[in-house]
Chains A and B, each alone.
Chain A
């Protein structure tokens, strides 16, 4: 069965420190991977998609097919990055997202 694992429930870093939120997936075929974010009192929203190879709010994510990972990284964390982050691969063309359990990022001043 397809699974996505986010091993850390909570990640606490100081402002300006690098941050890496881990995501490992078990998925057959070629997945499309996304990171979603939920800031306090806001809706779940798309942060970035791997196919775009984009950097959003300083975050990047590289798909490593060999390690089946899609870790989210930012070189210098900011307090406003504090939020819940969910890794989500899609299931083929039906686009049914499979969400991980999420990692709460806390950036301390």
Chain B
């Protein structure tokens, strides 16, 4: 079934650990996005990609990094997690061929990260 997946759904980890949040989509979408959202606050775009080997930083500065080696896969990595990284991370994707005003952006279920 065409969908967008995120793993893990919940992660509790200690300070200083390296973590990778996985995002995969089986919809064949070119464009993928990572958003960060603190409880009750706005979603902030932190990374996006328009295709394989294309990655850009978003509006909110983030210490995380991303890669796009395969169309369907867009993992986010934190080399050394800190309590300030505690947040929810949402992955999204969109088809690349249509007009921006008509293509729908699809969201994954999110990963809730807690760094102790």
Contacts and interface: CB of A to CB of B under 8 A. Distances in A.
Interface residues on B, range: 20 to 34
Given A95-B31, A96-B59, A43 B107 contact: yes
A96 B45 CA distance: 8
Given A93-B100, A101-B40, A46 B48 contact: no
Contacts of A95: 31, 94, 100, 103, 105
A17 interface: no
B105 A97 contact: yes
Interface string A23-35: 0000000001000
Contacts of B48: 96
Contacts of B58: 96
Interface of B: 31, 33, 35, 40-45, 48, 58-59, 90, 94, 100-110
